[in-house]
Amino acid sequence: MSAPILVTGGGQRIGLAFARHCLARNQSVIVSYRTRRPAVDALENAGACCLHADFATDQGITTFIDQVREQTDALRGIIHNASDWMPESPDSDPADVMAAMMQIHSTTPYRINLACRHLLENSDTTTDIVHMTDYVVEKGSAKHIAYAASKAALDNLTLSFARLLAPAVKVNSVAPSLVMFNDGDSEAYREKTLKKSLLGIAPGEAAAVQTIQFLLDNPYITGRRIGLDGGRPLV
């Protein structure tokens, strides 16, 4: 069987969709999850290796890396999808918010990439790292300042790891804006948000899956950010 792809944050949304996509292609996959949901059980039943991970602590990252190493001696790729969306608020300590956002969006991928470098280089084909960033890396966010800064740090890690790991490992990022709504989003919010892009749609997680797979398949792209935003910068 081929070397697995590691997907962090694979218990829901884009990470879950990509893990299902891998399994449908007979591509083995290792998935991290923070909360055990029925979807995680379904992934395991379909053949995925699902590992609980607490990336909020340094020890949690270390434990997860050790578990990955126990599962495989090679990786086909790493998709860094684990994320949190913590806003600034009067009830939160700004230092805690920044530390939490940097921990999951920057420190975690940084440590996993370095610790798993040999697993990527052990593969008999070119391998990939894909960082899932955000449209806000281009313009910032007045309501999610720490979140935007941490995703911008991840965007920069793309450049550094592309330089470090070439030519054996390609490193790119995908920067989505609105891809899919949450179940509780109001019609007014949906209508307002759709007007923020030229294409005016929420394409669903399939668009993100297609973009990630495109990067894995393409032999000549590294150190680049792919904007998955429906032309939003042009509005």
Active site residues: 147
Q: What's the rounded Cα separation, in Å, for the pair 180 and 18?
A: 14
Could you give the CA distance from residue 188 to residue 191 in angstroms, rounded to a whole number?
A: 5
The single-letter code of the amino acid at 49 is: C
Taking alpha carbons only, the member of 164, 103, 153 closest to residue 131 is 153
Query: Taking the alpha carbons of 50, 55, 56, 60 in that order, is the dihedral positive or negative?
Result: positive
- The phi and psi torsions of 129 (rounded to 5 degrees) equal -120, 130
Of 226, 234, 196, 56, residue with least CA distance to 134: 226
In contact, 80 and 109? CB cutoff 8 Å: yes
Whole-angstrom distance between the N-terminal and C-terminal Cα of the chain? 46
Q: How far apart are CA 149 and CA 124, in angstroms?
A: 36
